[in-house]
Amino acid sequence: MARRIDSLRRGMAERDIDCVLGTSYVGSYYLSGVPIHWFGRPLATIIPLEGDAAMVESIIELEHTRAQSWIEDIRTYYDYNTAPSYEDPQPPLASMIELTRDVLGARGLMSARIGIEKAGMPVGHYESLRDAVPDAELVDISPLLATLRMVLSDEELALVRAADEIADIGQRALIDAVQTGKSDFEIELPVRQTMIQAVLERHPGKPFSLHAMSGLGSGTKGAGHSEWITWNDEDVVRPGQLLETVVDVWLWGYWGNVERAVAVGEPDERTGHAFEVMIEANEAAIAAVKPGVRLADVDRAAKQVLDRYGYPTMTGTGCGRGVTSYEGNARELHMDLRLYSDVVLEPGMAFSIEPDVREPGVGTFRHCNTIIVTEDGCEVDSTVPRGVIWV
């Protein structure tokens, strides 16, 4: 946390920013050390260029903030007011803005240049803040915060690797569990139990979240990128299917993920060809990763293979690893593998590689791994085989 705040303040000084407000889940978490999905109770982590930091949050977050954050000045509000008074009630946003203004006023920042997360701040929140500090200049700090998060520290990489290790355990258990006639429920539930047990044994006390999806019918993407489960007992494993298995694990909000395409029975010629093309595209992208290469060029390496075989794709080749959350709409967008990305790779950057192939009548499938950039290339953070897999 000390390194993060020092880096932030150097960036602030270079941009003549007097204070930063972290108001998104990921921005506040990154700066405060306490993860809060604010869920209708907005918050602000306030980092001045000089002087003490502060947090403004709902009182229900107070105890775990005290336990987890380095920040000592914590201002709290109730659901109906800034104090436990039923007179003149107001909604949480009004209380958060009022207490934020108090902090800024106490630090002489009412007419300062204040950095805000414009990329993720609701318009209503922006307007309320602007009205509360009309003499301040509100400056977008989103690009600076995104840049700071691009290169993961040793501590962050340890969490990503630990999450990937649990995902590996889940992925192997999932592949072993695939049998004809089994439903999503029969496959996925014991896999989840295996992963939970592994977390409890290897990382006691670390907060976690996890998914395991067999890829059967609606189980793969029926609910999109959400926390929902979409099991269907009537949909069972059948010979000839090509499943897209997905295993996600979060430790302290850091994302680990392993995905594998799994054929039920030895693939026929058409499916086998598509499978081989996907693997070739995946390995071409992995081989392209090294310091000094642009993210766009890694994406292009995969797409060139797909183009050569006539397989167009609707997606990019991967997405950033770090502090992510479906429920917090938190994604490391600047580390996504896209043709428009000019980000130049450095050691410590992490992202997935997952080019997919769409074969009519078979489906969409891919392998997916976390890739960590090293001094001379990259580390593929999974031990699950990356070739053609069939059971």
Q: Which residue has the tokens 């105890």?
A: 63
**Residue 225: what pLDDT?**
67
Region label for 13, one of left (φ > 0), alpha (ψ between -120 and 50) or beta (otherwise): alpha
Do residues 96 and 129 lie in contact, with contact meaning Cβ atoms separated by under 8 Å?
no
Every domain of the chain and the residues it spans: 2-149, 151-380
Strand 242-251 and strand 208-213: pairing?
antiparallel
Total-model pTM: 0.94
Backbone angles phi, psi at 369, to 5 degrees: -140, 155
CA-closest candidate to residue 364, choices 250, 266, 295, 274: 274
User: Is 2-149 a CATH 3.30.750.24 domain?
Assistant: no
13-30 tens-digit pLDDT: 999 999 999 999 999 999
CA distances in angstroms from 70 to 36, 162, 347, listed in the order given: 15, 24, 27
Instruction: Give the Cα separation of 322 and 324 in Å (integer).
Output: 6
Percentage of residues in the chain with pLDDT exceeding 70?
96
Low-confidence ranges of the chain (pLDDT < 70): 217-227
Query: Dihedral sign, CA of 308, 309, 311, 315?
Result: negative
Name the residue type at position 391.
V
Q: What is the 3-state secondary structure (H, E, C) of the chain?
A: CHHHHHHHHHHHHHCCCCEEEECCHHHHHHHHCCCCCCCCCCCEEEEECCCCCEEEEEHHHHHHHHHHCCCCEEEEECCCCCCCCCCCCCCHHHHHHHHHHHHHHHCCCCCCEEEECCCCCCHHHHHHHHHHCCCCEEEECHHHHHHHHHECCHHHHHHHHHHHHHHHHHHHHHHHHCCCCCEHHHHHHHHHHHHHHHHHHHCCCCCEEEEEECCCHHHCCCCCCCCCCCCCCCCECCCCCEEEEEEEEEECCEEEEEEEEEECCCCCHHHHHHHHHHHHHHHHHHHHCCCCCEHHHHHHHHHHHHHHCCCCCCCCCECECCECECCCCECCHHHCECCCCCCECCCCEEEEECCCEEECCCEEECCEEEEEECCCCEEECCCCCCCCCEC
Give the tens place of pLDDT for each residue, 265-282. Answer: 999 999 999 999 999 999
The pLDDT value given to residue 329: 84
What is the overall mean pLDDT for the chain?
94
- Residue 157, CA distances (Å) to 151, 198, 309, 373, 384 in order: 9, 19, 36, 11, 19
pLDDT in tens, 170-217: 999 999 999 999 998 899 999 999 999 999 999 999 999 998 989 885
User: Tens digits of per-residue pLDDT, 78-104?
Assistant: 999 999 999 999 999 999 999 999 999
Residues 6+ apart with CB under 8 A from 59: 76, 77, 78
What per-residue confidence (pLDDT) applies to 218? Answer: 47
Q: Is 356 exposed, middle or buried (0-12, 13-18, 19+ CB in 10 A)?
A: buried
Tell me which residue has tokens 């600076």: 144
State the pairing for strand pair 113-116/137-140.
Answer: parallel
Q: Which CATH number fits domain 151-380: 3.40.50.620, 3.40.50.300, 3.60.15.10, 3.90.230.10?
A: 3.90.230.10
